[in-house]
Amino acid sequence: MPQANSLSTATRIVRRDSGSPATQIAADICVLGSGIAGASAALEAARLGFKVVLVDALPALGGQAVNSLIGTFCGLYANGPNGHQLTHGIADEILRDLGAEGALHTRLGPNTKIVLYDEIRLARWIEEAVRKAGITVLLGAVQRGVRREDRRIKSIDLATRYGDVALAATGFVDASGDAALAWGAGLECREPADGPIYGTQMFVLEEIDETRQPTREEVVSRLRERAERYGLVRKDGFAFAFPGRGLALVNMTHVETPLEPIAASRNALEGKAQADHVVRFLKEEFPDAFGHARVRSYGFPGIRQTRWIVGRAQLTIDDVRAGTRFADAVARTAWPVELHNRPDGISWEVFGEDHIHYVPFGSLAPAEVDNVVAAGRCIDGDAAALSSVRVMGPCIAMGAAAAHALDLAGNGSVHQIDVAALGRRLRDNLEDA
């Protein structure tokens, strides 16, 4: 005779205890933001032997590199069709591993090589690298407070759907993109003074005909003629095909990215509406390539420049144009000035094949505190200079530099480290082999 099914049906009644204390976490280094700069910083710090906590407000790792469908590694190479690689570290590992999977495609961009990548494979690479490094991950964690004593950040208070967290650390990396840590600590920050710098709603189209793909010049020419007909704001951009996959990565919108919550939420929807107008434009104007295309995925709003730190030094556009090699240089690139300061287009300034420009460590170090280093798009620069170094290559290098600077500082100040020693550690990102 068969036995009765033994499924459990028991439940219990619970109620939140309003007096429950926050979960306490302690680390050597806390990295705020898990985009490419934050991932680089966290992995480098873990390899230096530190106990690392990696925090992100999203419920997934990868920041914009993954979740905004950026889709291209820019700023990794020197200019010209045969430009050599300028940034190493985790860049080498990503290129090796994703290349072996066929998840990369190299093409010539604005006078320099760019690398298209499969965002799903990059996401899994970051997740596995972080997991294997033993890094503690705190996802869906929104910063709600910063505790500062004199010139040191002591801890940050975070809200998660599972309860509050208090995270104390010896050193902090602000790779939040919007200088969230610096802003929360009451430090001086910079914002654009001459109007917004626009972000982009990226998306991926599938079922395109790659053999009939129009050139970028053809797309831009048609946009300039007919953008208004389709309700399009931006009159340039690109739809890059990923060979052999029937996919195209589309970057043809401009959306304001305010730091006010209601406006930011509203504009996130506006970005997708713009993307839908772009799809109609591509399908009707280039039916051979895009007539059967459909959106596979929309990214989160892509944000370029919103708020950034005031560092001990500021990178200027004159430094970029001159290729100034700073005594405390920590990263280099040849990427153009790419300032998205107009709704209809971009201010481009492309450099020659022999041009390299550098990022000084002083622009990563907030002037008012001793144990914080910024990395990525929230370092100190004027708006034009920042637009030329906030791309993937130098952001990877800045993340590694942040980890090494905190190691050299120990319990002291990042403003008093031996910058020559820092440069020796970062030689691969500053010198050609």
Percent of the chain with pLDDT strictly greater than 90 = 95
**DSSP string of 204-216?**
EEES--GGGPPPH
Q: Residues 289-305: what's their mean pLDDT?
A: 97
Q: Tell me, what's the pLDDT at 217?
A: 93
Smallest Cα–Cα separation from 315: which of 374, 239, 273? 374
Q: Which CATH architecture has domain 23-72+117-193+306-429?
A: 3-Layer(bba) Sandwich (3.50)
Structure token pair of residue 361: 């460590």
pLDDT-derived band of residue 224, with 50, 70 and 90 as boundaries?
very high
Q: Which position has the token pair 């039916």?
A: 287
Average pLDDT of the chain to the nearest whole number: 96
pLDDT-derived band of residue 110, with 50, 70 and 90 as boundaries?
confident
Smallest Cα–Cα separation from 231: which of 284, 294, 295, 286? 284
Check whether 427 has a pLDDT greater than 90: yes
Angle at which helices 216-226 and 261-285 cross, to 10°: 110
Q: Tell me, what's the pLDDT at 168?
A: 98
The helices-and-strands tally (H runs, E runs) of the chain is 12, 20
Query: What pTM did the predictor assign?
Result: 0.96
Phi, psi of 5 (to 5 degrees): -60, 130
**Cβ-Cβ contacts under 8 Å for 260 (sequence gap 6 or more):** none
Q: pLDDT tens across 2-45, in order?
A: 565 678 889 999 998 888 899 999 999 999 999 999 999 999 99
Check whether 180 has a pLDDT greater than 70: yes
Distance CA 154, CA 164 (A): 17
Q: Residues 281-310: what's their mean pLDDT?
A: 97
Q: Tell me, what's the pLDDT at 4?
A: 59
Domain boundaries, the chain: 23-72+117-193+306-429, 203-298
Angle at which helices 90-100 and 392-409 cross, to 10°: 140
Between residues 333 and 433, which one has the greater pLDDT? 333
